[in-house]
Amino acid sequence: MSNPRIPRPFFCGNWKLWGTLSDSVALATGVRNAVAAVTAADVAVGPGFVALGTVADKLKGGSVGVAAQDGYWELKGAFTGEVAMAQIADAGATYAIVGHSERRQYFGETDETVARKAKAALAAGLIPIICIGETLAERDAGRALAVVGKQLDGTTSSLSDDELGKSVIAYEPVWAIGTGRVATPAQAQEVHASIRGKLVQRLRARGQQIRILYGGSVKPDNISELMKEKDIDGALVGGASLTVDSFAKIVQQGVTACTRS
């Protein structure tokens, strides 16, 4: 008999800049059908903003949630092009990814702006998925744990304990994103354990309940080994979330790997 894993595993697709409206609806409904039998994990898809509301409508009432890929901290006003967290919640999303390394790299996001976005997401009733992760140069210099620890502090210290307790952390080493070069389970676990240590130091037992996702070249053939690690609670999946088959396999194999007693 298998034991339910604590925290409850979570698998989230991040579609990045991909797809028409009809592509998005087809992928989302395909995922919903393919993972309908999965009860031991939370699952979400991450469409682009134009498709977000339509995808959320199609998935309403089912077990697959919707994640926005970003969101702004102000509620309204003269911020051309921005989308408020409250608008995202109103469109039917449950989660908002904040601080993705592509946002940090190409759009100038900092720990400070990510922290504001996380706080605004929580205020709007969304669950922020707060992304942190080191570059290859930082890892090669032996600074991975220090960099990730600093990003965790910088993005979460302004959250209340209750807010942090509701959040999801995603460790995404920049060198593993879209490169096919996945972190080894041991490399990922080392960082996840250090994140867990900081969360437990601050929140005690509640820190054990916070989901820490791994992201970076997750595929059906590497998810099982990753999910066997103690502090890897799920995955944030880019390229392999763009087909029903590969994302459903990641969810199914990930759940099996971590619930086996």
Active site residues: 100, 172
**Per CB under 6 A, 94 contacts ligand 13P:** no
**Per CB under 6 A, 44 contacts ligand 13P:** no
Cβ-contact 142, 181 below 8 angstroms: no
- Between helix 49-59 and helix 21-34 the angle, nearest 10°, is 40
Cβ-contact 9, 250 below 8 angstroms: no
Whole-number minimum distance, CB 18 to ligand 13P, in Å? Answer: 11
Q: Which of 107, 178, 184, 204 forms a contact with ligand 13P (CB under 6 A)?
A: 178
Q: Which is nearer to ligand 13P, 66 or 86 (CB)?
A: 66
Whole-number minimum distance, CB 116 to ligand 13P, in Å? Answer: 20
**Per CB under 6 A, 254 contacts ligand 13P:** no
In whole angstroms, how far apart are CA 62 and each of 33, 44, 59?
Answer: 10, 11, 6
**Per CB under 6 A, 236 contacts ligand 13P:** yes
Omega of the bond leading into 7 within 30 degrees of 0 (cis): yes
The Cα 187–Cα 59 span in angstroms is 35
**Per CB under 6 A, 155 contacts ligand 13P:** no
Q: What is Dmax (Cα atoms) for the chain?
A: 56
Q: How many residues bind ligand 13P (CB under 6 A)?
A: 14
Q: Which is nearer to ligand 13P, 194 or 217 (CB)?
A: 217
Q: What are phi and psi of 169, to 5 degrees?
A: -105, 135
The Cα 176–Cα 178 span in angstroms is 6
**Per CB under 6 A, 14 contacts ligand 13P:** yes
**Per CB under 6 A, 246 contacts ligand 13P:** no
**Per CB under 6 A, 237 contacts ligand 13P:** yes
Whole-number minimum distance, CB 14 to ligand 13P, in Å? Answer: 4
Cα 250 versus chain centre, distance: 14
Chain positions contacting ligand 13P, by CB under 6 A: 14, 100, 172, 177-178, 215-218, 236-240
